[in-house]
Chains A and B, each alone.
Chain A
Amino acid sequence: MSTALPASAEDKLHELITSLIEGQATDEQGEELSAMLQMSPTARSFYLAYLDLHANLFEEVDITEHLGRSLAEVDQTLTDEEIERVLAAEAGECVETNSANPPAAPAIAPSPLTTPPREQPRSYVYAAVFLALVAEVALVVFMLTAPGEPAMATLEQLDGRFAAGTVVAGDELPPGKYDLAAGVARVRFANGAQVAFEGPAQFELYSEKRIHLAQGKLLARVPAAGRGFTVETPGAAVIDLGTEFGVAVEADTGTAEVHVFEGRVEAELTPRADQTGAPPAKIELAAAEAKRIITPPGDRTRQPQIEDIVVDAKQFAKARVAEAGFLPPAAAAKVVQQSARRPEVNRPLRVAFLGDSITTGHTYLMLIEQAIAAAHDPRPQPVLINAGGGGNRASDMLARLDRDVIPARPDIVFLSTGLNDAVREVNDEDFQATVAAITDRLDQAGIRLAIMTTSVPAGKHEPQLPRLERFNEFLRKFAHDRGYKLADVNRRFLELRRQTGRSLLVDDDFHPDEDGQLPFAKAVLAALGYSDVDPPRRARADLEPGVIPHWWLQPRGPKRPPPLDAAAVAALQEDATWLQLDLPQPQPHPLWWRNQERQRGYAISIDGTDMAGPRYVGIAYVDSAEPRTVYFYTGGHVWSIWLNGQQLLSAATPAKWQVGTDRVKAQLHPGRNKIVIECGNDFFFAVRDQLTW
């Protein structure tokens, strides 16, 4: 701002603008602010700068990355003898409760206390790509319903299977989302409508009159009593006017096809009246007509495009057979066999860890993995899935369940929460309700649970310790009452602390240090049934597969440089002035955790400091003998990815810390491929042939 405002005017503007953006301004304040802005260009500058700050804060995320900043090492390590003694002392004990079949938890509606925090959309467009990737492995049935609602729909016939296998023929289907992994399911609605779904299909039942088809095919036959039965698709709501019709929705694009076999339907195109003020555009289809409804990419509420197509009954043949209700058993078996996966024999246990930054830091997971690998146990090595999130409270974890946990198809989830809830002063009722909501959701998805208690911070966090203790007490009792396994990290942590006389924390007084990871590993091993397996003293940090070994980097100057565009990327050419980076970085980092991540192949502290540092643009090359589909796995701070001049990822927020936060599908061409990324002072980037979890 060139001209300064008088201090009193500044104060007034602060006050008025604040009321405005917090939604608390009165009409009088609106008039006052209007008057000031109308009179003075300087006031307008002030207003623009303030609102721009407000907007920027919605995008600023560096502040949330706890790990990159505050993990530092305390020069306190235990002697081997001390550790051995402690571990020996606790050998054999473990608290296990029967978890084979937790009692059916009452289904609950989402608690108003635990409104999940919304995250910024990463991108209107790339979100679609991300969802498509998730959809490849998503296998989930979850239902949210209030008890006592009348049956609005009944599963009459199932010649296939729902993903989580919790629904059988004859069951009432409450409102909620369903994922038909394979085969055909016939559902009768209370108003008489009969719908056959053909898998793979994902759909949601809202009421007896309204459903949503996100992916897959359905064939609907609606009697007069059910007139008005509506199938929502991304581009249009298909409304029955007394008919038989089929709807097919493509998974990737949301493009829908509507085929009318008898009678008429109406398709009401989105966006609807409440969004535009104009009446919704409608098209009507008569018998033997069909239309394709194409939603523009990036935003599924925009006006779709309509194409005429030829009606095709064959497309719905399987569903029609089911709908007619005479599917012979042999044919049913064939349908299932064609598309269902074979049951895996003796497959490894999949174990997910839903936690905070301590989980994200990955150390105790490595200890567990390495302990089991060294134990020559006859059971197959479990697959450990890191679903940690820096700074997470239980409510943050609840919000991430459907994105980070359930699609990973774990057999069992270890829930590690309470620390951030305590230091951020979440009240007891909210904490308890949120933990219950998480566990209910996992129960409904047919996933087993183990509850972890917490380590104990110190120093400035001490005022919150009584609260933390209450949380831990609750977690123990909750696990016991619900029949979940308990991994009592807290008890082991305090015991080790008492025996060694050390805090077991790094110098932020919050995160466990290297020795402080051992109680986590021990408690989890015991809960998994490996109570006789000792973790190694120190985790061995192996290089992650697919890390690109050589990068050229150039700082991009200020903290928030403008995003790269295609022209800028095309012009990028590394030369001698660029920084060259070899991964894994050969120099050890003085702080153990950062050193561990270096050994795993993260680029750590590129500018020599542990601060967020400048942003960089990085160039690397990957050779391929043939055209090849690969997945780019990112972690740490990666904002965008360009492959051979094409942008593949543009994230409003960088990846979370752990490997594979973003998994971006890419096509390598034969010969040399040029990868350009925008990254921060710490990043992870690997190229893998397969999507693994």
Chain B
Amino acid sequence: MAEAATEQFVRLFARHQRDLFRYVLTLVANVEDAHEVLQETAAALWRKFDQYRPEEPFVPWARKFAYFEVLKFRRRHRYRGALLEDQVIELLAEQHATEADALEQRRHALGQCLEKLPEKDRELIQLRYWHDTTLQEVSEQSGRSVHMLYKSLVRIRRQLFDCINRSLATEAGG
């Protein structure tokens, strides 16, 4: 019995961890912090898994725990994690619940927008994100200044952001 529950939990968590990661990162902004919160969330979910009803969608249930863990994390790391005020986090979490579908659509548009980027820009995105390298490290490896890289990254991310806006606008228009 316990084994079946374990297996069910493992499957559910494996399937939805990406959703939870995105949610948590949205609220803590820093990727290392997001991983830490996600670990704590996994632990909390596992402890409370006997309260989960299978007919209930997993992600909204799990998000509540993730939100709680975000708050706990902010209390633990008040010195570094809390640039945004608590009220703002609460507002963001509320609004996230109503905008999940819109975000899902944006996600679908991202792939095409990435493909439109010039090679050099894609490479920087790849370094920063796929290899999870900090700008400082990229700078050391590429010989380009941190300032330059930072500006490029901001520009590229903005291009992607605008491209997604455009493609959603087009879809809505058509």
Contact = CB atoms under 8 A, between A and B. Distances in A.
A559 B114 CA distance: 11
Interface string A1-23: 10000000000001000101111
B107 A560 contact: yes
A58 B29 CA distance: 13
A628 B14 CA distance: 26
B166 interface: no
Contact of B91 (A37, A276, A652): A37
A210 interface: no
A52 B103 contact: yes
Interface in A583-625: 611-612
B10 interface: yes
B112 interface: yes
Contacts of B46: 296, 298-299, 302
Nearest to A57: B129
Interface stretch (A60-68, A316-324, A336-344): A60-68
Contacts of B115: 62-63, 611-612
Q: For chain A, give the interface size range.
A: 35 or more
Contact of A34 (B9, B88, B107, B112): B88
Nearest to A28: B83
B87 interface: yes
B42 to A, nearest CB: 5
A650 B10 CA distance: 11
Given A54-B25, A123-B14, A37 B84 contact: yes
Interface stretch (A40-48, A218-226, A259-267, A444-452): A40-48
A378 interface: no
Contact of A29 (B83, B95, B164): B83
B96 A647 contact: no
B92 A37 contact: yes
A55 B76 CA distance: 23
A566 B56 CA distance: 14
A25 B92 contact: no
Interface string A425-436: 111001000000
B165 A424 contact: no
A46 to B, nearest CB: 9
A659 interface: no
A279 interface: no
Contacts of B42: 124, 298-299, 302
- On chain B, which size bracket covers the interface? 35 or more
Contact of B103 (A48, A123, A611, A647): A48
B145 interface: no
A60 B111 contact: yes
B141 A395 contact: yes
A277 interface: yes
B86 to A, nearest CB: 9
Contacts of A565: 15
A55 B26 contact: yes
B125 interface: yes
A62 B114 contact: yes
A47 B153 CA distance: 17
A123 B131 CA distance: 16
A60 B99 contact: no
Contact of A559 (B84, B108, B158): B108
Given A48-B103, A302-B43, A426-B141, A55 B21 contact: yes
Contacts of B85: 31, 34, 38
B172 to A, nearest CB: 10
A693 interface: no
Contact of B157 (A18, A23, A612): A18
Nearest to B34: A55
A18 B153 CA distance: 9
A120 interface: yes
Contacts of B25: 51, 54-55, 58
Contact of A117 (B133, B150, B157): B133
B154 A14 contact: yes
B161 A60 contact: no
Contact of A560 (B110, B123, B142, B150): B110
Contact of A124 (B13, B47, B110, B137): B13
Contacts of B6: 296-297
A430 to B, nearest CB: 6
A395 B143 CA distance: 15
Nearest to B169: A1
A98 interface: no
A314 interface: no
A53 B161 contact: yes
Given A64-B126, A612-B115, A652-B18, A52 B26 contact: yes
A481 interface: no
Given A18-B157, A391-B126, A558-B108, A60 B47 contact: no
A662 to B, nearest CB: 14
A608 B163 CA distance: 26
Interface in B1-60: 6, 9-11, 13-15, 17-18, 21-22, 25-26, 29-31, 34, 36, 39-40, 42-43, 46-47
A301 interface: yes
Contacts of A113: 140
A561 interface: yes
Interface string A271-308: 10001110000000000000000001111011100000
Given A34-B88, A53-B110, A647-B15, 7 more contacts: A57-B160, A61-B130, A118-B131, A124-B42, A125-B10, A298-B13, A559-B109
25 contacts: A27-B83, A30-B84, A34-B83, A37-B91, A37-B92, A48-B26, A52-B22, A57-B128, A57-B157, A58-B21, A60-B129, A113-B140, A271-B43, A296-B46, A396-B131, A424-B141, A425-B142, A426-B142, A427-B141, A559-B110, A562-B104, A563-B15, A565-B15, A647-B15, A650-B15
Which 3 pairs between the two chains have the least Cβ-Cβ distance? A559-B111, A30-B83, A117-B131
